[in-house]
Chains A and B, each alone.
Chain A
Amino acid sequence: MPIVWVKADGSLEIQRIALTYLERERLPGEPTDVAVMRLALRLQSKVPAWVGLTPQLVTEANLPPDRTQRHKWRLQGGRVQVDLTVPDPPAPKKAKKDAIDAAVTLADLKAVLKVII
């Protein structure tokens, strides 16, 4: 059962408890959702980025099946949904490609290449 940590910028970390850890630490008769939440809170202090956040449980069915827009996942109404208003991150090499495209002379291109290498 996934645990959602909502970071300050709205982006999400989706945590899954290891099955062996869950079964070892589960209290007698403890329901899975209760155990998972208890363990998530126990593990919270291990990850500095989670300190101060509030974990929330979701079901696997409430996660988008497609990860191609993983950066747009947001928690909305207890479900993780793709928020199309979230901008795409800049392409990692766009600035370099733009510099190459902007080069007019061989000297310009050499200058760009020297920066790239």
Chain B
Amino acid sequence: MALARIKVWIAETLTFTDLNTEFNNVLDNALSLISPLTADLNFNGNDLNNLSTGTAAAPGLNFNGDTDSGLYVSAANSVGVTAGGASVVLTSTSGMALQNNQPVVPAAVSGVPAQHGLFRDNVVKAWAAIAVTPALREEFNVASVADGGAGVVTVTWDRDFVNSDYAVAGTALANDEYLSAPAASQAAGSAQIRIQNFNGILADQPFVVMAIGDQ
């Protein structure tokens, strides 16, 4: 209830009943003096303490018109950022962990790259460990592999590159074999890998490969 004057006083006798009514009104509705605010609140360098810990669905610190986005405490010494009621980031003494399969999407580099900087330009976009069959042993962002003959494997990417101008590197897991760079068959959505020995002979070998470029 908003705090409002109970009685407009005039020249009259002050009764204890009227006094009690006025004071009770102030005491009972003290919160309405500051909440909701009608102007900016200046803490003047003081802390705001003892907020509700909240939850991911209803964070203790949320914002106008968006009560399921903000900050909350998931456990002691663990602060979370939530958006749309779902936890996005948890920070704790163990570090920062992204939640619910959310990726880090770094910005594109501009100017001289910052020291040790992570940019979308320098992130490995795909990698795979491929057995002789050829079959995938481990992979990221690989949709399929295709056996094109001895030592010839076509890797198709799950998420394509913007064009064929990306870097592919890898190595064959054998002493006398090496992985040659994909040649004319490199496309936005696939790359043909050739494994050959130092005599130039294509040969089946397990290998690992990774790709870096713009997507």
CB-CB under 8 A from A43, the residues of chain B are 143-144, 156, 189
Chain B residue at smallest Cβ distance from A20: B139
Residues of A that sit less than 8 Å from B by CB:
3, 5, 11, 13-21, 39-40, 43, 45-49, 67, 70-71, 92-93
Task: Report which B residues bind A (CB closer than 8 A).
Answer: 132-136, 139, 142-150, 154, 156-158, 160, 185, 187-190, 199-201, 204
- Checking B134, B136, B160 against A19 with a beta-carbon cut-off of 8 angstroms, the contacting residue is B136
Cα A5 to Cα B185 with chains together (Å) = 16
Q: How many A-B residue pairs have CB under 8 A?
A: 77
Q: CA separation between A20 and B144, bound complex, in Å?
A: 10
Instruction: Check if A16 sits within 8 Å of B204, measured CB to CB.
Output: no
Query: Which 5 residue pairs of A and B lie closest in terms of their CB atoms, listed nearest first?
Result: A46-B189, A15-B146, A14-B147, A47-B190, A21-B143
A-B contact pairs, 7 of them (CB 8 A): A3-B146, A15-B154, A18-B139, A18-B143, A46-B156, A46-B188, A47-B146
A16 in contact with B185 (CB, 8 Å) = no
- In the complex, how many angstroms separate the beta carbon of B203 from the nearest chain A beta carbon? 10
Establish whether residues A21 and B149, one from each chain, have CB atoms under 8 Å apart when the complex forms. no
Q: Bound complex: CA of A59 vs CA of B22, how far in Å?
A: 88
CA distance A71 to B202 in the complex (A): 11
Find the residue from A14, A19, A40, A47 having the highest chain B CB count within 10 A. A47
CB proximity of B82 to chain A, nearest CB, Å = 26
CB distance from B103 to the nearest CB of A (A): 15
Most buried by A among B132, B149, B199: B149
- Whether B135 pairs with A17 at a CB distance below 8 angstroms is no
How far apart are B210's CB and chain A's nearest CB, in angstroms? Answer: 15
State whether A48 touches B143 (Cβ < 8 A): no
- Please state if A13 and B189 are interface contacts (CB–CB under 8 Å): no
Contacts of A11 in B (CB 8 A): 149
Query: Taking each of B189, B199, B204, which has the highest tally of chain A beta carbons within 10 Å of its own beta carbon?
Result: B189
Q: Is the CB of A18 within 8 A of B149?
A: no
Once the chains bind, are B150 and A49 in contact (CB under 8 Å)? no
Q: Is the CB of B146 within 8 A of A5?
A: yes
* Residues A92 and B185 in contact in the complex (CB < 8 Å), given A21-B144, A47-B154: no
Q: Are A48 and B187 in contact (CB under 8 A)?
A: yes
Cα(A3)–Cα(B160), bound, Å = 21
Interfacial chain A residues near B145, Cβ < 8 Å: 15-16, 18
> Given the known A-B contacts A13-B148, A46-B190, A47-B187, are A21 and B199 also in contact in the complex, defined by CB atoms under 8 Å?
no
